[in-house]
Copies of this chain bind each other. A is one copy, B any other.
Amino acid sequence: MIDKSMRDAAAAVAEIQDGASVMIGGFGTAGMPDQLIDALIDRGVGDLTIINNNAGNGEAGVAALIREERVRKIICSFPRQSDSHHFDAAWRAGKIELELVPQGNLAARIQAAGAGLGAIFTPTGYGTELAQGKEVREIDGKHYVLEYPIRADFALIKAQQGDRWGNLVYRKTARNFGPIMAMAAATTIAQVGNIVELGSIDPEVVVTPGIFVQRVVEIASANTHALAA
């Protein structure tokens, strides 16, 4: 019997080693797998490459990883926010590398990795400094930039419900990067509000089929909170 559920967050992240690349779901606080990130911090590994839309807010989640100096490089679209002071300090001190990727390219490159494409010609960024040094091509009168897939060793994501085969459904805009990161990581670890019996998620409404998920851990989360102003 296949049961992908794990005892706790610590067990779920126990395979993540120094130097790993780790995708982390969430847009702002919605969909951010805080408890998995806490477990990753507790695990003590460093030299990580983090892929997330942002570069941490306030004190929790990705911000805490950066504060604890576990992150060598971050790939994100929007590192500058009012409460991203830990990234800010690390970046100004030269302690963290930043690869800035337009959000749509970030999503498309993650999706390309999951789908097995070698590269994509994307419309975004053409003629801007974020395309400097990249291959460009005109196709049917429009200009495109060649971008490569972003894959990772691990993805840490948050979903509403899961089952022992790893099927997931999400809640509202907490869905965001979860489904595509699950497809692009070698090992996807999902924290879910509750683990339900196999077959109780309607097969028509499964958003992430279990093939894309390797570990599921039930964490009855507190409600998602707002970003600090």
Contacts and interface: CB of A to CB of B under 8 A. Distances in A.
Given A139-B148, A148-B139, A205-B204, A115 B108 contact: yes
Given A169-B204, A204-B169, A205-B205, A139 B118 contact: yes
A162 to B, nearest CB: 15
Majority DSSP secondary structure for residues of A touching B: mixed
- A-side interface size class: 20 to 34
B122 A121 contact: no
A116 interface: yes
A125 interface: no
A144 interface: yes
A118 B121 contact: yes
Contacts of A172: 204
A187 to B, nearest CB: 19
B119 A121 contact: yes
Contacts of A171: 204
A18 to B, nearest CB: 23
